[in-house]
Amino acid sequence: MAQAPQVTPQPLVSAAQRTGNLPQPVTALLAANGIAPASLSVLVLRGDQVVLAHGAERPMQPASTMKLVTTLVSLEQLGPVFRGRTELLSNGEVKNGVLKGDLVLRGGADADLSGEVLENMLRALELSGIKRIEGNLVLDRSLFNPARQDLGVPPFDESPEAYYNVIPDALLANKNMLQIDMRSTSKSMQLDMQPELEGVRVVSEMTLIDADCARWEDGWKLPEAVKGADGRIKVVLRGTFPKNCAKTNSINVVDRDDYLDGLFRMKWKQLGGKLDGKTLAGIVPPDARLLALHTARALPEVVRDTNKPSDNALARTLFLSLGALEADPVLGSRPLPLVPGQSTYTRADQVVRNWMRARGIDDSGFVIENGSGLSRIERISPLQMGGLLQAGLRSNWAPEFQASMPIVAIDGTMRRRLHGSPAAGRARLKTGTLRNVVAVAGYVPDAGGVQNVVVAMVNDERAGEGRGRAVVDALVDWVARSGAQPAPAVAPVLR
C-alpha cells in the first residue's frame, strides 16, 4: 500500500473551543423552514481555529458526503498508481485456432470495464490466433467476498432499476446498465436497446396515453427481465407512456451473469468467433495463463468521477477495493492475501478505521456500510469529517483529492447552487442528499482567501424540497463572506 505521511494524533477540538452560536442567516432559514436547530450539526475550521461548532460531535447521516471518506482513504492507502484490472485467462491448449478448454473472465475491480473494453480484449484474443472456444465462459468475481453482494438484498427505495442503486462486484461490465430509447407516435412505440446483448431483447407492454412528454416518468413502472425456457430474455416495459414522445432511460434489470453472457457472445460473434459452451460462475485455475488484459484509469481519475457526479457504484467499488487489493507499480493492483472467513467489507472497514485512528480521529459512533452514503445506517460526526478534511489538506495527494470535489456554481453536483455567492467558483464541496438528509462538506475560502474546512449536516423530516439545502448553502455563503478583508490587488509583474 502507499505510505501515508506520519502524523502525530491530536484531538481536533478541545472542550474549551466549542461554540454553538449559529450565524443569523442560518438561524433565520431554520426558523422559516420549520427545522429545529438540533437537527443541524456544523463544524467550521480556519486552520486549527474553530470558527463554529454546533452539535459537531453528534453522529449524523452524511448521505453522499461519506464518499469523501472513501476517496481520501483510497488515495492514501492505494496511491495514485492504483488501477483495477480485467483479465482473460485459460489453461487450455490452442490448436488450429481452437481453445480447447474454458476461457475465464476475471474481475479485478476495473471501474472502466465496458462493452468497448471487452471488445478490445476479445480482439486481442482473436489476433493471438483463437477463433473458437471449445469450453465454457467462466466468470470469476471472487476478488470480493461475498462475490455477489447484490443477491438477496432488499431494494433501497422504489427505484431498484436506477443506476444509483447498482451494487457492484469485481466484474461489473457497463455497470450492468441497459440504455432504452423509447419513441412513440399516436398509435405505436419503437424501442432500441444499447448495448446489444445476444439472447436479450426489449418489448413494450406500455399503454400510450395523452400526457405531457416531460412528465413521462409519472407512468413508469418497474421493468422486468423474463427468462424463457430457451434461456432467452425479454426485458418487459410496463406502465404508461405519452403519445408522440421520445425519451431515453437506463435500467439495471438483467442479472449480471446473463448480461455478461449476452455481451460477450455478441461481441465475440461480431468478431467472427464462436463459443461452444455455457457461461458459468467459477474461479481461475492455478495453472491458467494470461491471454488478454485491461487496466483501468489511474485512481485519481476514478476518484474524480466518483466525487464530482456523486457516483455510488464507483464509491462502493473503491471501498471494497480497500479490503481486497493493494497497488502494484507494474500491474496496477494485486489481490491482498486471503483471510479465511473474513468478508471484504470487514477488511475495508478496518482499513478506514485504522487510517482515522492514525490521524487522531476518534472513530466512536462512526458507521460505514458501503462507502457511498447511500445508506440509512452510515454515520459520521462533523468533528470526524472535519478531521478527515484537515488530513486531506496535509495529504501527499491533496491536489488530487481537492480536484475531485465539485466546484461551487461550476460543476458536479454543485453546478446549480450558490450562484452570486462569493463561494461561487472558489469553494469545493461534496454534497449529500437522501430522504430527510442534506449535507455538504469541503473547503471554502473566506473573504481573505483563507481556506476553511466546512461541514454541515441536516437530519430532519423537513430537510427535503430545498429547505435543508437552503440552510447549508446559507452557512457556506456566510463562511465565504467572513474573515479578513481581501488584500488589495497587486499590479502584475508580467504584462
Question: How would you label 171-181 residue by residue, b for 16+ Cβ within 10 Å and e otherwise?
Answer: bbbbbbbbebe
Unique residue bearing C-alpha cell 471484504: 344
Do 310 and 286 sit in the same domain of this protein? Answer: no
For 292, the enclosing helix (H) or strand (E) is strand 289-295
Q: Spell out the SS3 assignment of 330-381.
A: CCEEEECCCCCCCCHHHHHHHHHHHHHHHCCCCCCCCECCCCCCCCCCCEEC
Mapping DSSP to helix (H, G, I), strand (E, B) and coil, where does residue 78 land? helix
Do 69 and 115 sit in the same domain of this protein? Answer: no
Q: How many degrees, rounded to 5, is the angle at CA 466 between CA 463 and CA 471?
A: 70
Do 265 and 307 sit in the same domain of this protein? Answer: no
Sequence-distant (≥ 6) Cβ neighbours of residue 402 within 8 angstroms = 392, 428, 443
CATH of the domain at 396: 3.40.710.10
Based on the structure, what is the number of domains in the chain? 3
Do 190 and 267 sit in the same domain of this protein? Answer: no
Sequence-distant (≥ 6) Cβ neighbours of residue 492 within 8 angstroms = none
Within-domain flag for 486: no
* Phi then psi dihedrals of residue 436, to 5 deg: 70, 15
Within-domain flag for 462: yes
For 18, the enclosing helix (H) or strand (E) is none
Do 194 and 237 sit in the same domain of this protein? Answer: yes
Within-domain flag for 6: no
Contact 365, 379 (CB under 8 A): yes
Tens-digit pLDDT string for the chain (495 aa): 444 444 444 444 443 244 458 999 999 999 999 999 999 999 999 998 999 999 999 999 999 999 999 999 999 999 999 999 999 999 999 999 999 999 999 999 999 999 999 999 999 999 999 999 999 999 999 999 999 999 999 999 999 999 999 999 999 999 999 999 999 999 999 999 999 999 999 999 999 999 999 999 999 999 999 999 999 999 999 999 999 999 999 999 999 999 999 999 999 999 999 999 999 999 999 999 999 999 999 999 999 999 999 999 999 999 999 999 999 999 999 999 988 889 999 999 999 999 999 999 999 999 999 999 999 999 999 999 999 999 999 999 999 999 999 999 999 999 999 999 999 999 999 999 999 999 999 999 999 999 999 999 999 999 999 999 999 999 999 999 998 544 444 444 443
- Reference 475, options 142, 13, 42; nearest CA is 42
Within-domain flag for 49: yes
For residue 442, give its domain range. 15-81+299-481
Do 446 and 469 sit in the same domain of this protein? Answer: yes
Do 305 and 228 sit in the same domain of this protein? Answer: no
Contact 430, 307 (CB under 8 A): yes
Do 239 and 264 sit in the same domain of this protein? Answer: no
Contact 389, 453 (CB under 8 A): yes
Do 41 and 117 sit in the same domain of this protein? Answer: no
